[in-house]
Structure 1
Amino acid sequence: MATDIVLSVAGLAKSFGGLKAVQGVDFEVEKGAIVGLIGPNGAGKTTTFNMIAGELPPSAGKIILLGEDITGQRTDMLYHKGLMRTFQLSHEYARMTALENLAVAAPDQTGEAIFASWFAGGKVRAREAEVLDLARDTLEFLGLTHVADELAGNLSGGQKKLLEIGRTMMNDSKVVLLDEPGAGVNPTLMRKVAEMIEQLNQERGYTFCIIEHDMDMIARLCGKVVVLAEGKVLMEGTMDEVRNDERVIDAYFGGEVV
């Protein structure tokens, strides 16, 4: 039986002038999996995410999402195909409330079309009501109902990370790229973030690919881990296999990578 691959990266490369940031990266993400992407600083992890998410054009290679070649497609196009990503530094709309931050992330908002806002006011209002109901349900799921009317810029780091996860829920994303969801988050909220990722994966079937420096979080969440070093895939396997691989230890702690 063929494996159900939702995201495939083959020969992915990116150069900035003479700097080869990513050099022929290959990996696959199965439907319903949580895959970790780890490596020392400068290994090419975020550059790889940026190419997958359409923020950087690859110098070479292919990216396949749900059987479609999406190489070089724009971020907004990928959003409508169900590919979402979060950032190490949260990108909330600081002067909008938490509820409004979620509402603007919903697709297919009739009021965005000027003629619909003029001539189909009933449909616009009905869709707005649906979006607000979904946003409130999402805040409840995340445990953030108490900050619904708080400006997003006033939220804690962990609350902002949960809000970013909530925005992926507003689009019912097929594949979510999480860039360091634990960065800048206190231990209590980090556990909450991990719980939300697990719930979305187990109860709603979300597929995740996660960059994270906290190895305990990776061990908790990820069935497969891909290790990058110097822009290349060093190895992939379970977290136990990764922790016991001498090449990984060398890459992290300064030995020679062989």
Structure 2
Amino acid sequence: MINCLSSSKFANLLFVNVQIENVNAIALFDTGAGMTVISKSLLHRFCAVPEKETLRAGNNNGMVREFQTAAIPGIRIGDICVEKCKVLVTDDADFAHSDESGRIFPAEMLLGWDVISRYRWSYSTKDESLSVSLPERTAEHLSPEIKHGPVVSPEYAGRCFSARVDTGHTGSILSASWYSRLPDIHYHETEIAGVGTSQYKRIPYVRELQLRFQNQTITLQDVDICDKLYGQSEEIEALLGYDFLESRDWLLEQAFRLLP
């Protein structure tokens, strides 16, 4: 299978190489985005125009905006081709980020759960590869709890909890329900970024959080605690960023499975 992982680096995030109408582009692998999002300049590069239809969508900051939409005839990723995909269109400025090393955000597109959930993905840390293939099950059979993104049930201090995995974010976030569970809570000033918005807030966080998941111990560092996880049901107690999967091999077919 073709390795669709891009060599582009930005923090700890994963990027994939895509092709739309013979135009090559880089997309962020983002299980936290309900729909695929592309920049206006990328849309113009393959000579498409936005539709009249608009959709309202929100981000992790709770900001709700109206987006133009566009119909994409096909997106090629590795060995597969995603046909007839509706995407959200946003301003180029929404992709204008830089990380702590000064690297510029390399993507012009967020590959969202609407596309990711249709396929089977396999990631290898050693080989630095991400492959995609047809799934054993179709996306039509998505259970209600994972229609908005993959859900996992890690264990903390002997108790399991439900969390959604958001690979579009570098770090993890806990809900307010964790206040009574954590022994040492500190405060810091941090940037909360999303499509179309970025803000600095003084928020509580825990310096280290040790979880058990599928017989592996996962230690997260500097995990923020937020009063509200926007867009999530009450059952979801955390949004786990890519720090939850970092340096691990995994398989994703609607649900994540860690590989030995």
Question: TM-score, structure 1 length as denominator?
Answer: 0.23
Greater Rg by CA: 1
Question: TM-score, structure 2 length as denominator?
Answer: 0.23
Give the number of the structure whose residues are more often helix, by fraction: 1
Give the number of the structure whose residues are more often strand, by fraction: 2
